Amino acid sequence: MPANLTPEYLEAEEVFRKAKTIGEKIAALEDMLASVPKHKGTEKLQANIKRRLSGLRDESEKRSKAGRQDPFLVEKHGAAQVALVGFANVGKSALVDCLTRARVEVAPYPFATALPVAGMMEYEDILIQLVDLPPITEGEFLPGLAGAIRNADALMIIVDASSDDCLDQLEGTCEQLKEKKILRDDPVEGLHYHTASSCLIVATKIDIEGAEDNLELIKEYTPPEFRFISTSVNKRKTLDLLRKSVFDLIDVIRIYSKKPGHDPDMNQPFILRKGSTIIDMAEAVHRDFKSKLKSARVWGSARFSGQAVPKDYMLKDKDIVELRI
Ligand SMILES: Nc1nc2c(ncn2[C@@H]2O[C@H](COP(=O)(O)OP(=O)(O)OP(=O)(O)O)[C@@H](O)[C@H]2O)c(=O)[nH]1
Ligand SMILES: [Mg+2]
């Protein structure tokens, strides 16, 4: 065993040992590769991880061709993938049903959802993928569930505001995610973990009598670093606010490109991470643009329309950018 393995690597290795499905194993090996110290002493180990990764990817492809794809390995689409997590019967499927066109099972009994179902939620001019998941439970999760949660870009943690158990649901869900090392207090470079910044606590069913009183309690017990919103599938306005909160959660900006001498293309924005610069935009438009870029102009966040900006200019949501190469 090479020396100097970091705690992050050892943790990823632990996750790999516990992984049950191919999807979970691939995600854990990717984490191991990202966190293994890169020096001569670990070359053999790196090669070994890469070999195992490629074997598992081949196996996964074979299975998917044979129609036996891991249902917990949800392919990402849209601006980001957001998974709905929570105890049974709290209202996860009902939200996915209202916010997307996915066919999900909404039922008054627990464990109605047995496998992940993905649907696309419209938010203004972009689509965000929501994944309805089976409920989490105390103790062992369904095989594959931990991997599906970890793999999502962000989480909606759902609690039922009409239930007397709402605080247990909130604390229990966060505790379980922490115990399974899916949620951590601080991010770890290169590893697929969630922190408060990638989680939105959603208290739902606020149309039911008594829920408003519980809401105060839930707010009080929500750690301040988490975002929070209340909603109901029967209150349309709250659902519109929820869409906006999910957009804020995924931490992206929409940038429209404008070819010199043409109107901007306002139909399909480029989706970039918040904090992206002109250079990031150039790279997103075309891989050659980064090196060829001569100048850029911005409409929107710049002080005046069409202002020439430097390459490290930080873009804002809905900016229009003209790149000259
Ligand atoms: N009044 C009201 N009922 C709701 C709301 N959201 C969900 N429900 C009801 O709560 C029950 C459970 O909803 P589901 O969406 O199936 O719950 P779930 O979290 O997906 O449950 P599992 O699949 O078991 O994990 C159903 O009877 C829904 O109709 C809401 O906002 N208001
Ligand atoms: Mg469900």
* 195/242 same-domain check: yes
* 243/100 same-domain check: yes
Structure tokens given for 153? 């870009």
* 24/133 same-domain check: no
For residue 192, the enclosing domain spans: 81-250
* 260/291 same-domain check: yes
The model's pLDDT over 180-192, given as tens digits with 9 standing for 90+, comes to 889 998 877 767 7
Ligand 1 within 6 A of CB of 258: no
State in Å: Cα 242 to ligand 2 middle: 18
Exposure of 186 by Cβ count < 10 A (0-12 exposed, 13-18 middle, 19+ buried)?
A: exposed
Direct distance between the N- and C-terminal alpha carbons of the chain, in angstroms, rounded to an integer: 50
Going residue by residue through the chain, which has 325 residues, state the pLDDT in tens, using 9 for 90 and above: 556 888 889 988 988 988 888 888 888 898 899 888 888 889 999 999 999 999 998 888 888 777 767 788 888 999 999 999 999 999 999 999 999 999 999 999 999 999 999 999 999 999 999 999 999 998 888 888 998 999 999 999 999 999 999 999 999 999 999 998 899 988 777 677 899 999 999 999 999 999 999 999 999 999 999 999 999 999 999 999 999 999 999 999 999 999 999 999 998 899 999 999 999 999 999 888 888 999 999 999 989 999 999 999 999 999 999 999 8
Instruction: Tell which atom from ligand 1 comes closest to the C-alpha of 208.
Output: 1
Please report the pLDDT score of residue 224 as a whole number.
93
Ligand 1 within 6 A of CB of 90: yes
Ligand 1 within 6 A of CB of 106: yes
Exposure of 283 by Cβ count < 10 A (0-12 exposed, 13-18 middle, 19+ buried)?
A: middle
Residues facing residue 252 across a β-bridge: 273
* 228/302 same-domain check: no
- Residue 244 falls within a domain, yes or no? yes
State in Å: Cα 179 to ligand 1 middle: 26
* 196/319 same-domain check: no
Q: How far apart are CA 31 and CA 226, in angstroms?
A: 25
- Residue 72 falls within a domain, yes or no? no
Neighbours of ion ligand 2 (CB under 5 A): 92-93, 112-113
Closest protein CA for atom 14 of ligand 1 = 91
Q: How far apart are CA 14 and CA 200, in angstroms?
A: 27
* 33/20 same-domain check: yes
CA 87 to chain centre: 19
State in Å: Cα 108 to ligand 1 middle: 6
Ligand 1 within 6 A of CB of 207: yes
Return all residues near 58 (Cβ < 8 A) that are at least 6 apart.
Answer: none
- pTM of the entire structure? 0.85
* 219/100 same-domain check: yes
- Residue 76 falls within a domain, yes or no? no
* 244/299 same-domain check: no
- In the block, which residue shows the tokens 């070994």? 48
Report the CATH number at residue 296. Answer: 3.10.20.30
HSE toward the beta carbon, residue 35, CA cutoff 13 A: 23
- Residue 73 falls within a domain, yes or no? no
Is residue 59 within 8 Å of residue 108, measured between CB atoms? no
Ligand 1 within 6 A of CB of 112: yes
HSE toward the beta carbon, residue 39, CA cutoff 13 A: 7
Number of domains in the chain: 3
